[in-house]
Structure formats: C-alpha cells, structure tokens
Chain A
Amino acid sequence: MGEVTFICKRTVISTKAVEPGKFSPLSVLDRIMEGNHVRIVLYYNLPTRRRPGELTKRLRETISEALSAYPPVIGRLVRTPEGHWTVKCNDAGVRMVEAKVNGTVQEWLQNVDREKELMLVHWEEIYHKPYFWSTFYVQITEFECGGLAIGLSCSHMLSDPTSATMLIKVWADTTLGGQTAPAPVFRPLPTPPQQAAAANTTTNPTSIDHYKSGTGGGGGGACTPPPTSTITLQFSQESVARCVAAAGPHATPFDALTALLWTRIRRIRGAGPELSLSICFDARSVLGLESGFFGSCMVFNKVAGAGLSEDVAGAATAIREAGMDGDGVMEVIEWLERESEVRLDGGNNDVVCVNLESVGVYGAVFEGDAAPLRAACYVEPVGGAGKVLIMPAVEPGGRVAAVTLPEDEAKKLLEDTWVELQGVVPVVVMGLPKK
C-alpha cells in the first residue's frame, strides 16, 4: 500500500522547433540561487474511468505543446565568456519520469512523509558536464485506484516557485483546452537607476546581511548537518485570522504565521537572540514586474533576533519592517551585480522563511473542475537552522506551513502545546516518518 513503482524515464520535447543560436541570459537574482532547486507536488483526485497510462500519454502530449512557449526551460546551461551561467536554447527538452502508486490519493496523503513525497518528484543534481543536464524534471504518478500526482522540479537558477507553478498552470490549461494563461515573459530585470559612482557602500546594511552570511563557500560547516525532517501544518481560516489579530496592527498572514513559528522554534531550540530569521519573498510585485515574468525573483532579507521578546506581536512587527520596497530590492540587485562571488548554499545559520503567498498552485486544473487536493513545495537544500514555507491552503483564507527542521526539533514542534495563542491550532497534514 502506498508503494511507488518507477515505470520509465524519457525526454519530452516541445512541439515547435526552437531556432538555433538563441540564448536566454540569467539575471543576478537567478544566478545567486545556484545550487538550490525547487520541487512542487500537486495531488488530484480524478475518476478512474481511464486505462492506466492513458492519462499520462495525454499529459505528455500537452506538455510538449505547453513547452513550445518556454524555450529556456528546454535549453541547457552553458557558461558565458565571463564565466557566468546562461541558458542556451538548444531545444533539448525536459526529462519526464512516469510512475504509479497502488492505493488511493487519500490513503497516500494520510501516511505521507517527506521522504515518500519526494519520491513523487524526480530530481537529479547537476552533472559533471552540465550541457547534458536537464534543468527541469516532470514526474507523472498515477494512483491505481484513481488519482494523480504531478511533480515538477527545477533548478532555482531558472525558476522560483512562482514561475514553476505558472508552468504547471499553462500545462494544465493546455490539457483542459480552454483559454490559456498569459504567455511567460523572459527578459532581464529592471536595471537599477544610475547612482553616482561615489556611492559604493551599501545604504541599507541589513538587506545585504543575509547574502553576506551565505558566502561561506560550499560546505562551510565541517560537521555534517543533522538529518532534517519536514512537517506540514495547515492553519484554517479562523486560526489565521486569530493569529493575525494577535500579531498586531497591519500584520499580514505571512507576518503573523512567520512570527508564530519563529517564536516557537526559538523556544524549542533555546537559542534566544542568536537565532535570527531571514525572510524570502517574491519581488515581482515590488519591482513592478508582470506575474508572467519567468525566472527567479526571490529576494532575502535578514530580521535580527536581538532584543526581541518572545511574543508574536513584536516578532511580527520586526518581520514586517524587514519587507522591502522597490528601491530596497534595487539596492540588493545592484550590490549583487558588484559582488560576483555570492552564493546562497545554505551556509548561514538563520531560519529562512519563504513567502509563497502569491504562488497560485490551486489554479492548475487538468481535467473537468478538479483543482488540486493538496500542494506541497520544497526549496532545497535546507541549510542552517531550518526553513519554513508559507503557502495558501485549499480553503480560502487558510494557510499551509511546511517546516523543515532538524529531526528532534521537528518532533518537539509537533508535540508543542499551543495554548498561549488560543484558537490557533494547526492541523498536522504531514508528520514525521513512522519508524
């Protein structure tokens, strides 16, 4: 029950041949995410009227059609003469893995844990020769008793969760055959306004801190990090509302939930003020980019842990103040363009909290009106102290928090009592692996 059987792996190409000789350059925000990858899993409950493999065949055809709008997705990474990564649109395709699971989607979801869920979304680390390495992987898993899981993984250099979700939505729209989502936009980031050359120091020190602390080189810590686990907590609409109320004025659900979880993790770890938080958010809206802008647009900012009390309101205020506007993001971009050696490979020790509020996973409908039952998102690798991803839930107004922590802390978080904040009781939708 709940066994994943691998069927085959193949390459899916686009229906339209790409003109040779085209390149799609990567911006600084893309390149800084080297070494990271995104994995998304969507679950659907579909009637079992089809023969096994029939749905997969149809989805293969429709993804080929959808990919004709995404030449960089089917391209490969190459180095520019300056040594940066760029994408050569060579029409090579994406890898597709097909699998099947016995049982139903509901049974699976009741017993799922991180390891099992990651079996539904194939990923391969970069090859020694990256020219033959597919940057996108799609997995279609059919549940024998009805149901479907779509997994998409990609290098964070090419796409963040927002863009990856949009690719899935375009695929779903192509399968459904109705109106198509707006075509993706591939273009460079807006250039920062030309500052006077004298301004070579950063004006906003804290915004760069997260990036600075990330440059420890690969494998900064000599000891191996403790094994991590991911648990998923679902907050109903009332819980979110109560949390927001407790978080003080002007708090968004993201601020409130992040504050809640941060204070909990601090308490569990007993770390006190040394445990700081970094938030990561989608900068498309503050930069004025269209939602179809394809690429990685996630910007990080550090929230200092010092001097804050344990209550949620204070934490929420600090988090809100760490949110950047367009100018702030531009400064970060400018700084990144000057410093070419910055990499975020999990070398720092902050809890990273990723704001995926704008990721519309539930819009991807492949058949009829079957919206996804559940969506899961992973941004790997998780370094340092852990990672929290806040996404919308199926229920309007609800939220899902995927928390990745060292195993023992995750266990404690599950056992934590939530009496301080009355009424904010999450439902554990994905717990620890059952030994």
Chain B
Amino acid sequence: MKLGYQYLVNHVLAFLLIPTAIAVAVEILRSSPARWNSFAIDPIHILFTSFLAVFIATVYFMSKPRSIYLVDYACYKPPVTCRVPFSTFMEHSRLILKDNPKSVDFQMRILERSGLGEETCLPPAIHYIPPTPTMDAARGEAETVIFSSIDSLMKSTGLKPKQIDILIVNCSLFSPTPSLSAMIVNKYKLRSNIKSYNLSGMGCSAGLISIDLARDLLQIHPNSNALVISTEIITPNYYKGSERAMLLPNCLFRMGGAAILLSNKRRDRSLAKYKLVHVVRTHKGADDKAYKCVYEQEDPQGKVGINLSKDLMVIAGEALKSNITTIGPLVLPASEQLLFLFTLIGRKIFNPKWKPYIPDFKQAFEHFCIHAGGRAVIDELQKNLQLSAEHVEASRMTLHRFGNTSSSSLWYELGYIEAKGRMKKGDRVWQIAFGSGFKCNSAVWKCNRTIKTTSDGPWQDCIHTYPISNLTLADTQKLVEYLQDKLGVSAPFDVVIDDVPSNSRIATIKVVRALTSLALKEAKKLIEGLP
C-alpha cells in the first residue's frame, strides 16, 4: 500500500501528463485536415518564436550553476608503529595522571564505550612519557599527514602541482604562521597565482565548509580545479590536565587526514567519482548553549583543553533537525514530503499528540556517512533517522579502525563504502558532520561511475576483517539467553571476559551469576580476580 502511494506521488507528473498528451493527440487526429490550413503560418511568427526559444535556452544555460565534480580523494593511513592499544593508552594515562586516579578511571570508562579499536593511531609526540607536544612535532605531524595524502592523490589522479588553481586547507586546532596552505605551496612549488585559503577553528564540520567554499569558488572561476585538505593535527592538543570533561577528546581524537580534488572542468566529467549535488550548512551559534557546548578553555590549573558540555547530544539533535528541515525538501521524494506536510498540518490543527513524521531518508540516499564523532553520536543518529545497521556500518567501522579523525572522518567512511564495493553509478551519498559552534553541515553527492575496489587506500589491508561487532556484556547475556531459548542450546560454553571496567563491577557480577549460576561469593571472587 505504501509502495503504491510512493510510486503514485513520485511519478505524479507522468501520471498527469500522459493522459493529457493522449487526449490532445486524439483531439488533433480527430479534427479534420481542413482545420490545419486555417492556422496562418506567418514566417515572422516562426522567426520570432525561434529567437525566443534560443534566447530562453541561452539564459537558462548561462545561469545554471556549474557542475562540480569530485575527481578523487585520498585518505592518510598512519604507520602501524603509531598504533595505540587500549592498554598502552591507559598505562600512559596512569603514569602521567598518577595523582588523579579518578580521572584515569574516567578515561578507561570512556575508552571502553567509545567504539574505538586497537589500531587507532596517535602521533609520535604523544607516545612519549610525558608527551612532548612541541611546535616542531606539530609541524612534523602536519607535514607527514598532509604530504602523504597529497602524494597519494597525485598518484591516483595524475594531478600535477602546477595545475592546482585553488587550495583550501582546514585544520581546526593547529594554525601556525605561515599557514598550512603556505606550507603546501612551498613543498609542492604551486603557482604564484594560486587561490589559497586556510580555515582554522571551525571544528569537525570544517571539511564540508571547505567543500562549500570550493564549490562557490569554482562557480566564479571557469575551467578550474580545487584541492581541499581536511585534517586535524593532534600533537599540540593533547590535554595534560585532569578535568574530566576535557579529557574526553584525548580518548577519542586520533591522527588522520584527507586530500580531495574537486573540479568544474568538462574533461573531468567522465573520470570523476562523484558529482556534488547540495551542501547545506546550519549554524546554531546564535544560541548561547550551543555556542558554549564545545569550548576551548583553560582548566583551574591553567592547562588548555577542549571542554565538552553535557548537553552535547541534545544540541546536536537540534542542529540535525534544523539541517534536515532544510535538506529534506531538496532531496526527499515528493511522497515523503507530502506525508511530512500532512502530519505537520495534522499536528497543528487536529491533534498535537500525533507523532511527528520522520521522513524516510533511506528513499533519498543509498549511503550515509555520519561523522564518526563517537559511538553515542552514531547511535543517536541511527535512532533518529531510523537507519539500519548496514547504513551506519561505514561510520562505526571508521570509528573502530581510525578513531575520531575530525573533519576527515567522512572521507574514511566513503573510502570504506568504496572498498566494500558497494558504490554503484547513480548512488546518492549523504555526508553529515557536526562541529563546534555548534554547526551541522551536510553534503549530498551522486556517484558518477561505479567504483571498483582498488588495492590501495587506507582500508586495503583490513577491509576483509570488517565489519566487526562489539558485543557488550549485557548484549552477550541477551545473546546467550536467545540461543538457549530459540536453539535449545543448553551445554555450557565459554564467554571470554576481557576486561571489567571498575564502575560496572556490580552489573557484571549480576550478569555473570545469571549466565553461570554461580553463587554470589564465587561470582564476586571471579570478577575481582580479573585486573
């Protein structure tokens, strides 16, 4: 029934036009040939009509915005020697914060629930005991990340440095003088008339802001390309204090970067991977709470860090709603828009208790790239947009493998989808990013050609091990009960308990008792025997 409705509404034009055209044709054929001659065909009328047609066509083509294509992009793959396993991270935290065991425990709890895996990477300066975030080390990280990404991109696209017309770099927390864009111009010897821009302080959504800027510039400059670099340099921003709200970024942010090549050149049209369809930016900074929700400040000891407020998820939800309200009409099929409108009217007029209709974005997009800000963010969005596990798989797996790489995470996610071979011609992709400010930015891409899985890229050596599923202990209990009920499995089997965070000891003991029918004393001893 729903499908019939959708088909009807989405093809309403066709449904209206076809009967009309048939009726007109029938009418013309029925009328006698004599009536044809009564139409005096004046040569001046014909000339005038044709000029009008040509004039309208010209105006249309001139004012149509240029199509912007994403030729290719490359993501940085950190060396495996920069890997930070959980135990190493916790040990360092313990050694550095030895006077604040509560802060260490907090970090451990965050890490457990973060959704990060054991292969995420931090830059070399953070591996020291204590970390040594010097300016040199920060520049070193910037050079490694950015230059490797650009080199990969040049290799895959054949781009020459002198061909770059526009250069946009976004890196929120590291802004040296000369800028990172100047660093790139210097390294690759770019042209002296290059249009370079350096965006700093704009948070995790800055990647899409750069894309938006590139798009606007490519409207003005014909036959040009734009190189966009999105990265976050971790070295100078490792928080050395012990305030809990400021320790969160240490646990989640990891090394990463991406280089993206956009073009409006005709000849890139056939080779490009994606076409940029929409960029929608929503800024909630006018609201004080939203403005202060991700705030860089000094802690009482004078150490600088980024404070994440407790209202983060609520504010993110509101920003998303604003963004969806704008993007919905642009991308949703007519059927969904009508339904949304009807429920809106219904709620206003008839009964405010009607549940608001959440448009089904799965009809507008084949793929979703949700910024991998943390497991909570992805969970919330999955719930709010009613997405399936497969839709958020790219985000979850990027979070697991690379951590929160800030503005470049959307590109790792896109890389995941391509590496899995799921990107087909005509597929539509929705990239959503949140960032300090508080901003929610979206970009919509349409796949230009079916993308074959390649043997390079950051996912090439591990894509076959994904997707993985992280079951929490509570989930494991549910699974065990399910197996026991549905499949009649009654033989004892092993559940491997890797680590018990100290705060969930009681909960864990309860679950262990339920699973193994141990007495309370034995279960307690078992859990306490684990570190």
Looking at the complex, which of A12-20, A36-44, A139-147, A407-415 is the stretch in contact with chain B?
A: A12-20
User: When the two chains form their complex, are residues B496 and A13 in contact, meaning their CB atoms are under 8 A apart?
Assistant: no
With contact pairs A21-B498, A132-B95 given, residues A13 and B84 touching in the complex (Cβ less than 8 Å): yes
Chain B interface residue count, Cβ-Cβ cutoff 8 angstroms: 27
Query: A61 at the A/B interface (Cβ < 8 Å)?
Result: yes
With contact pairs A9-B128, A10-B129, A20-B498 given, residues A60 and B81 touching in the complex (Cβ less than 8 Å): yes
Taking CB atoms, residues of chain A closer than 8 Å to B129 are 9-11, 95
User: When the two chains form their complex, are residues B85 and A10 in contact, meaning their CB atoms are under 8 A apart?
Assistant: no
Taking CB atoms, residues of chain B closer than 8 Å to A90 are 85, 87
With contact pairs A21-B496, A92-B87, A92-B88 given, residues A11 and B81 touching in the complex (Cβ less than 8 Å): no
Inter-chain contact count A-B, CB under 8 Å? Answer: 64
Q: How far apart are the CA atoms of A61 and B132 in the complex, in Å?
A: 19
- Please report which residues of chain A, range 296-323, place their CB below 8 angstroms from some CB of chain B when the two chains form the complex: none
Q: How far apart are the CA atoms of A93 and B94 in the complex, in Å?
A: 15
Query: A64 at the A/B interface (Cβ < 8 Å)?
Result: yes
Query: A108 at the A/B interface (Cβ < 8 Å)?
Result: no
Give the shortest distance, in Å, between B131 (CB) and chain A (any CB): 9
Taking CB atoms, residues of chain B closer than 8 Å to A12 are 81
Taking CB atoms, residues of chain B closer than 8 Å to A8 are 128, 132
Cβ proximity bits A1-31 to B, threshold 8 Å, 1 near / 0 not: 0000000111111010110110000000000
Give the shortest distance, in Å, between B513 (CB) and chain A (any CB): 18
Taking CB atoms, residues of chain B closer than 8 Å to A15 are 80-81, 83
Cβ proximity bits B515-531 to A, threshold 8 Å, 1 near / 0 not: 00000000001000101
User: When the two chains form their complex, are residues A13 and B119 in contact, meaning their CB atoms are under 8 A apart?
Assistant: no
Taking CB atoms, residues of chain A closer than 8 Å to B128 are 8-10
User: When the two chains form their complex, are residues A17 and B119 in contact, meaning their CB atoms are under 8 A apart?
Assistant: yes
Taking CB atoms, residues of chain A closer than 8 Å to B85 are 13, 17-18, 90-93
- Please report which residues of chain B, range 68-111, place their CB below 8 angstroms from some CB of chain A when the two chains form the complex: 79-81, 83-88, 90-92, 94-95
User: When the two chains form their complex, are residues B87 and A76 in contact, meaning their CB atoms are under 8 A apart?
Assistant: yes
Taking CB atoms, residues of chain B closer than 8 Å to A88 are 531
Q: Which of A15, A81, A132 has the most CB of B within 10 A?
A: A132
User: When the two chains form their complex, are residues A11 and B92 in contact, meaning their CB atoms are under 8 A apart?
Assistant: yes
Give the shortest distance, in Å, between B114 (CB) and chain A (any CB): 16
User: When the two chains form their complex, are residues A13 and B88 in contact, meaning their CB atoms are under 8 A apart?
Assistant: yes
Cβ proximity bits A82-99 to B, threshold 8 Å, 1 near / 0 not: 000000101111010000
Taking CB atoms, residues of chain B closer than 8 Å to A92 are 85, 87-88, 91
User: When the two chains form their complex, are residues B81 and A91 in contact, meaning their CB atoms are under 8 A apart?
Assistant: no
User: When the two chains form their complex, are residues B87 and A91 in contact, meaning their CB atoms are under 8 A apart?
Assistant: yes
Taking CB atoms, residues of chain A closer than 8 Å to B86 are 91
Cβ proximity bits B477-515 to A, threshold 8 Å, 1 near / 0 not: 000000000000000000011110000000000000000
Give the shortest distance, in Å, between A90 (CB) and chain B (any CB): 4
Query: A131 at the A/B interface (Cβ < 8 Å)?
Result: yes
Taking CB atoms, residues of chain B closer than 8 Å to A21 are 496-498
Q: How far apart are the CA atoms of A362 and B90 in the complex, in Å?
A: 37
Query: B136 at the A/B interface (Cβ < 8 Å)?
Result: no
Chain A interface residue count, Cβ-Cβ cutoff 8 angstroms: 26
- Please report which residues of chain B, range 22-39, place their CB below 8 angstroms from some CB of chain A when the two chains form the complex: none
Q: How far apart are the CA atoms of A137 and B129 in the complex, in Å?
A: 14
CB-based nearest A residue for B79: A61
With contact pairs A10-B129, A20-B498 given, residues A132 and B91 touching in the complex (Cβ less than 8 Å): yes
Contact of A78 among B127, B496, B531 (CB under 8 A): B531
Cβ proximity bits B114-148 to A, threshold 8 Å, 1 near / 0 not: 00001100000001110010000000000000000
Contact of B94 among A9, A10, A64, A132 (CB under 8 A): A132
User: When the two chains form their complex, are residues A10 and B127 in contact, meaning their CB atoms are under 8 A apart?
Assistant: yes
Q: How far apart are the CA atoms of A360 and B79 in the complex, in Å?
A: 33
Q: How far apart are the CA atoms of A20 and B94 in the complex, in Å?
A: 20
Taking CB atoms, residues of chain A closer than 8 Å to B88 are 11, 13, 91-93
Cβ proximity bits A57-92 to B, threshold 8 Å, 1 near / 0 not: 000110010000000000010100100000010111
Q: How far apart are the CA atoms of A129 and B95 in the complex, in Å?
A: 11
Give the shortest distance, in Å, between B136 (CB) and chain A (any CB): 12
User: When the two chains form their complex, are residues A81 and B127 in contact, meaning their CB atoms are under 8 A apart?
Assistant: no
Q: How far apart are the CA atoms of A18 and B498 in the complex, in Å?
A: 12
Give the shortest distance, in Å, between A282 (CB) and chain B (any CB): 32
11 A-B contacts, Cβ less than 8 Å apart?
A9-B128, A10-B127, A18-B85, A20-B498, A21-B496, A21-B498, A61-B81, A81-B529, A90-B85, A93-B85, A132-B94
Report A's interface with B, CB cutoff 8 A.
Answer: 8-13, 15, 17-18, 20-21, 60-61, 64, 76, 78, 81, 88, 90-93, 95, 129, 131-132
Besides the known contacts A88-B531, A92-B91, A93-B91, 20 further A-B residue pairs in the complex with CB atoms under 8 A apart: A10-B129, A11-B88, A11-B92, A13-B81, A13-B83, A13-B84, A13-B88, A15-B80, A17-B83, A20-B499, A21-B497, A61-B79, A90-B87, A91-B87, A92-B87, A92-B88, A93-B87, A95-B129, A129-B94, A131-B531
Report B's interface with A, CB cutoff 8 A.
Answer: 79-81, 83-88, 90-92, 94-95, 118-119, 127-129, 132, 496-499, 525, 529, 531
4 closest residue pairs by CB, A with B: A92-B87, A20-B498, A91-B85, A90-B87
